[in-house]
Amino acid sequence: MAKPVDFGTRLRSAMDASGPLCVGIDPHPALLEAWGLPNSADGVRSFSLTVVEAMTGAAAILKPQVALFERFGSAGFAALEETLAAARAAGLLTLADAKRGDIGSTMAAYATAWLDDSSPLASDAVTLSPYLGYESLRPAIDLAASTGRGVFVLGLTSNPEGPSVQHVGGSNSVAKSIIDQVTADNVAAIDLGHVGLVVGATIGDAPEKLGIDLTASKAPLLTPGLGAQGATAQDIAESFASSYGQVLGTSSRDILRAGPSVQALRDKALSVRDELLAAKQ
């Protein structure tokens, strides 16, 4: 059997074709209400399939927030499975925002759920939490590599509580240790590796202060915080500088508020994408 195309190559192709935009699929109760949909698994399903329809050709990757499906139990997971299948059929990459992290056989089971060809929840990538130790994520990192999928590891997040853990150690910080290990896993990549990083769009000069080289990591950089959380494309371009070519600008509520019109959603996404592209110049 031929080896699958690696995730970094597939992601770069999607970014070149559709722009460096990741759109979250976040069916919050308030958004469901604003769209005239019930706060139920059926409402979540309708919401999510509308986003998939609108984003074809306008985004490199879609990021369903797993918790907002999970709250409806098996019916919510069924809606997520249908959403992932619809995105796949539309040629869109998917990133399951599940933030999984555990040890041993439990981590292996999470890896199978989100990254194995046989799973109905299989996505092109999944978010992971490394705070049981980076190597605890090895089952997912290795399975992703073997199936042509990716992982995005929490690195430098922009929530107020993040620095209390991630910045500990200064020049030998927890975040630097994690990112150094990501760099080692991506060392053979020509462009983007299969191990990405979640790095908040509003972290400012934290990488410089902590001695972190994001460019050397070869990691795709998922940057939550664009739009509703206050960051602009120009802010991200200035903060990430030489690593901006690795950035997936991530927007959820700012784009989703344009719904439920498919055309309005698409127009908003294209506007955000164009801002990201313009900031690269």
Q: Is 63 a catalytic residue?
A: no
2 secondary structure, DSSP code: P
Q: Within a 10 A sphere around the Cβ of 260, how many other Cβ atoms? A: 18
Which of 88, 199, 224, 94 is CA-nearest to residue 149? 94
Which of 95, 105, 200 is CA-nearest to residue 150? 95
Rounded distance, CA 20 to CA 125, Å? 16
Token pair in block for residue 257: 């508020």
Rounded distance, CA 191 to CA 37, Å? 42
Rounded distance, CA 281 to CA 279, Å? 5
Token pair in block for residue 196: 């990405």
Residue type at 280 in one-letter notation: K
Which of 227, 260, 246 is CA-nearest to residue 36? 260
Per annotation, catalytic residue among 3, 99, 176, 218: 99
Active site residues: 99
